[in-house]
Structures are given as structure tokens and as C-alpha cells.
Amino acid sequence: MKTTTRMLKKLLLLSAVILTSNQMIAQTLPDSAITQSVCIGIEDYEIVPNPTSTYSWSIIDQGTGFSPLVGEADISPVTGDFYIQVDFTMAGVYVLSVLELDANSCQGEIVDLTITVNAYDDPSFTFASYCESNPGSPVITGTTGGVFTFNTAPTSGETIDPSSGLITGGLGGTTYDVLYTTSGICPLSDTVSVSVALPPNPFAGANDTICEGLDYTLSSATNSGNSGTYSWIDATGSNAGFNNPAILNPVYTPTAIDIAAGSVILELQISGIAPCTTVSSYITIIINANPTPGPIYHN
């Protein structure tokens, strides 16, 4: 699940104008080169109006020298003809101009504002599910250099590296909403839900001892984690000695090789549910030889 946050800057007072002897004079500004930097989106502009004057607005794309195409930087009136909005959809440099005509049709000087329109950062990233025993990191597919955080602070001591997004202490069976916020001129945020899989946690049982000729039921084998499939094998990789090597608690019949060796090591393999991998546990069974009775003597 992804969500994107868009932040817009609003409202710039372009200039104030006054009328003196039928001439419009632009007020002196601190910087004679009037400039502005904004992000793609809708921006508000106004000029302090003379109630007997009319105002006309125009905009030129500095990349082409012409008016922008329809849909790239559309001007819409908000209040009368002195307060407008410009809907910027394309990054670039534009000059917004306003022209005043007074009640006597006298034309004032054109007031210009140079506007640099910046594209928003791309906060896209992916974060594949990972296994509790081997946490992974997100992959940034958009703008790099941002900051990772948890969207909602976890309560079990988990932490996230703000630069790499690596989660430590993530609990199996838990889902985290990870927030990535870019750090550019026009930042955006993206949220991705990442789930942490619980790995297998097998226990083949405590080492034990049996007598020669007896079978052994692996009744103490357990698994406290998730599991895919069970597989029992002996030290040679064979599962021939088990009545059913694909269950958790099978019966094992020692082979002649086991009896001759006096012991056997059995391995319980439990495959994890992706992305977790197979985990093993081992049990050693000592096989005591049966006593060999001597002959019976008749005294």
C-alpha cells in the first residue's frame, strides 16, 4: 500500500502599484530582479488594485519564448482581475506579467515576476518482506538522499536507520509502515508497508540413549516458528530409517551402520515460508549394545 503527500507553497504578493498624474508607478522593491521559486502546483498572485483601473495578465515560458501550451501554466481569475491563480504543471522558468490601464486608458509600466517552477521529488521506494533472522533494506527507485522513519512508532524496541532504512529488532509476524521523505527543494513522502516473516525454530529433541534392536520415536521434536515442510535425514543424508520423514515426530529404526558405530546423528530440517529459508536442528542417539550372555554350565 502506498500513499503520497504533496506540499504546496501558497501566496506571493507580486507588487503594489499607485496612480500619480495618470501614470502607474511600480513601487520600488528590495531586489530589482523580481524572482520566485515554487513547486509544480497552483500558486496565487495578486496586485494591490486601483478601483478605477483594469488589469491584464500574461505569462511567457522562457524555454520557448512563447505562451505556455494549454494545461502547462493556465491563468484563472480568483477575485476580479487583480487576483489570479496559475496552475503550473510543467517545470521551467516563466515570466508572469501584469499590465494596468487606468480610467483614462493610460497604460502603466508592465510589472514582471520571474518564476522558477521546480518538479517534485520522486519518493518511490520498495521494501520487500524479509525474514526476522535476516532483515533487509528498502530499495529507493526515485530521488535518493531522503530520510526513512516509521510511520507509526513501534512499541517493541524496533529501530530504523534513517539513511538506509534497515530495520533492526523487527518481530516476525509484524507489519511496519515505513515512511520515506525526500530532502529536495520540492520534497514528497511515500509510505510502504513491509511485513516480517517468522522463521522456523526447530528442536529435534535432547540427546538420548537406546538399546540395540529398539526403534526410537522422536516425540520430543518441536517447532515454535512458522514452517513449510519437515524433512528428517541421518548423517549420510538418507531418510530410509524413518517410518515417515516428512512429519515432525516420526519413528526411527537404527541401521546396521548405526548399531556398529554405537550412535547416530539425526537432522530435522524445516523449510521456512518465503522469504525465510530452511533451518535445521540435530539430535544424537547413543545405541548401547545388548549384552552377550555366556553359556550355561552344569556343575
> Which of the listed residues 62, 88, 118 is the one where a domain comes to its end?
118
Pairing between β-strand 174-181 and β-strand 167-168 as defined by DSSP bridges: unpaired
Domain match, 186 and 267 both: no
Domain match, 162 and 253 both: no
In a domain, 189, yes or no: yes
> Which of the listed residues 118, 150, 177 is the one where a domain comes to its end?
118
In a domain, 61, yes or no: yes
> How many domains, in total, are found in the chain?
3
Domain match, 226 and 190 both: no
pLDDT score at 239 = 95
Residue segments in the chain with a per-residue pLDDT below the cut of 70: 1-33
Provide the β-strand partners of residue 46.
Answer: 13, 83
Domain match, 171 and 213 both: no
How distant, in Å, are the alpha carbons of 118, 170, 171, 196, 223 from that of 155?
39, 11, 11, 15, 26
Tell me which residue range forms the domain holding 227.
Answer: 202-288
| Number of Cβ within a 10 Å radius of residue 176 | 19
CATH number of the structural domain spanning residue 63: 2.60.40.10
Domain match, 110 and 34 both: yes
pLDDT score at 156 = 84
CATH number of the structural domain spanning residue 143: 2.60.40.60
Domain match, 112 and 28 both: yes
In a domain, 293, yes or no: no
Query: Cα separation of 51 and 140, whole Å?
Result: 54
Domain match, 113 and 6 both: yes
Q: Which of 206, 142, 215, 154 is nearest to 180 (CA)?
A: 142
Domain match, 108 and 137 both: no
How do residues 239-277 score in pLDDT, each as one tens digit? 999 999 999 999 999 999 999 999 999 999 999 988 999
- The model's pTM is 0.70
Residue 81 in 3-state DSSP?
Answer: coil
In a domain, 298, yes or no: no
In a domain, 299, yes or no: no
Each residue of 101-139: b (16+ CB within 10 Å) or e?
ebeeeeebeebbbebebeebbbbbbebeebbbbeebebe
Domain match, 13 and 114 both: yes
Residue 86, burial from CB neighbour count under 10 angstroms (0-12, 13-18, 19+): buried
Domain match, 157 and 105 both: no
pLDDT score at 135 = 83
In a domain, 230, yes or no: yes
Domain match, 12 and 96 both: yes
* Residue 260 identity: A
In a domain, 297, yes or no: no
In a domain, 51, yes or no: yes
Domain match, 176 and 260 both: no
> Which of the listed residues 73, 93, 118 is the one where a domain comes to its end?
118
